[in-house]
Amino acid sequence: MKHVLNKLSDGHSLGREEMREAVREMLQEGTTESEIACFLTLLRIKGETVDEITALVEVLREQAMPVRKLEQGVMDNCGTGGDRSQSFNISTTSAFVLAGAGVKVAKHGNRSITSRTGSADVLEGLGVALDFDGEEIEELLNRNNIAFLYAPFVHKSLKKVMKVRREMKIPTIFNLIGPLTNPVQLDTQLVGVFRRDKLETMAEVLRELGRKRAVVLNGAGQMDEASLAGENHLTILEDDRISSVILKAEDVGLNSYGNEEINGGSAGENAAILMNVLEGREGAHLDTVLFNSGIGLYASGKAGTISEGVHLARESIRSGNALNALQSMIHYSANRRKKVIPS
């Protein structure tokens, strides 16, 4: 690890194979927490490259809980976190809207690290299990179009790294790669990032990882979600080509709201917001979910345009399909054997 840390401290980037070896060493028992913190900090200061991010993701997916290759068309809409916006759980709520619209969503998520309430905190409060194994994930996707993959359960080799991340309390490369380490082989993906300068980098990583289609976005106010407050910067991967667009709420027929109007709170408060949205209560929370779900439906290929995606998202909620997807996952969770959940 010393050689790698010295190289990074001199401002040099790591090649892909060199980064793979560094990650494997980081995950070994003998590596200290201070070495891990130093490694993550130096990568952040230098700026993470496509090769470094791709290599880290490849190693983590190799060591993750195995999930056999599922039928085509599975996506994830997990954001990176790290934007410190204190918003409610937008992508988690949107995941059920996507599922209700017929998209298979392998939702990867965690407890709160740099935000107030993470997706796992909210879903656990609603009665969703955090320990689905590979067979259950497959069954849920086939039966209900959505499964939740709790990162510490899926990536058990990261226990020490997760402890270091919590203590560091700053965004690191793990905020960038969290959405990419899903062990399910995804065809399409929507990734929100908290750093606008990383949009094209993340799109290039997604191309390296074999995504057929993807949207990477950074919202108004540097949110890792699409925002109704102004310009959203989208980088689109399609047919191996990368392009960029700027999108506002009014471009797809939605109202504008300030980011302060979508603030969240505790896990219980955010769970109540999630339920209100899936039940169709009008306002900033609903329109924000429609916006993000519309982009997700476009990213998945279910909608030909984002405007069409917003229409399909509204129908998913209006029909009750989005709420049914959540209720079915809660019911499934209550009628299965229990496992030991990592803290």
When the pLDDT of each residue in the chain is averaged and rounded to a whole number, the result is: 93
Feature table: binding site for 5-phospho-alpha-D-ribose 1-diphosphate: 79, 82-83, 87, 89-92, 107-115, 119
Percent of the chain past pLDDT 70, that is, above it, reads 96
Q: What is the mean pLDDT of residues 312-339?
A: 93
Q: Supply 59's token pair.
A: 């190693």
pLDDT at position 83: 61
Which of left, alpha, beta for 247 (phi over 0: left; psi -120 to 50: alpha)?
A: beta
| Contact (Cβ atoms closer than 8 angstroms) between residue 244 and residue 236 | yes
pLDDT > 80? residue 316: yes
Strand blocks (E) in 151-199? 188-192
pLDDT at position 273: 97
pLDDT at position 338: 59
pTM equals 0.92
* Single-letter residue type at 156: K
| Contact (Cβ atoms closer than 8 angstroms) between residue 103 and residue 75 | yes
Nearest partner of 93 among 328, 249, 313, judged by Cα: 313
Residue position matching structure tokens 């060591």: 63
Residue position matching structure tokens 């407050």: 229
CA trace torsion 278, 284, 285, 287 (10° rounding)? 60
Feature table: binding site for anthranilate: 79, 110, 165
> How far is residue 165 CA from its own chain's centroid?
17
pLDDT per residue as tens digits for the range 183-216: 999 999 999 998 899 999 999 999 999 999 999 9
pLDDT > 80? residue 340: no
> How far is residue 254 CA from its own chain's centroid?
24
pLDDT at position 33: 95
**Three-state DSSP state, 225:** coil
Feature table: binding site for Mg(2+): 91, 224-225
| Contact (Cβ atoms closer than 8 angstroms) between residue 4 and residue 18 | yes
pLDDT per residue as tens digits for the range 89-103: 999 999 999 999 999
pLDDT at position 81: 73
pLDDT at position 118: 87
pLDDT at position 244: 97
The bridge status of strand 74-76 relative to strand 146-150 is: unpaired
Q: CA-CA distances (angstroms) from residue 197 to 53, 114, 203, 217, 253?
A: 14, 19, 12, 11, 28
Q: CA-CA distances (angstroms) from residue 14 to 24, 62, 156?
A: 14, 20, 25
Among the ranges given (8-17, 109-118, 218-227, 329-338), the one the predictor scored with the smallest mean pLDDT: 109-118
Interior CA angle at 241 toward 236 and 244, to 5°? 35
**Three-state DSSP state, 191:** strand
Feature table: binding site: 79, 82-83, 87, 89-92, 107-115, 119, 165, 224-225
Q: Which domains does the chain have, with CATH numbers?
A: 1-47 (no CATH), 74-154+184-328 (3.40.1030.10)
The bridge status of strand 232-238 relative to strand 213-218 is: antiparallel
pLDDT at position 55: 97
Q: Supply 286's token pair.
A: 């609903």
pLDDT > 70? residue 136: yes
Longest dimension (CA), the chain: 58
Percent of the chain past pLDDT 90, that is, above it, reads 81
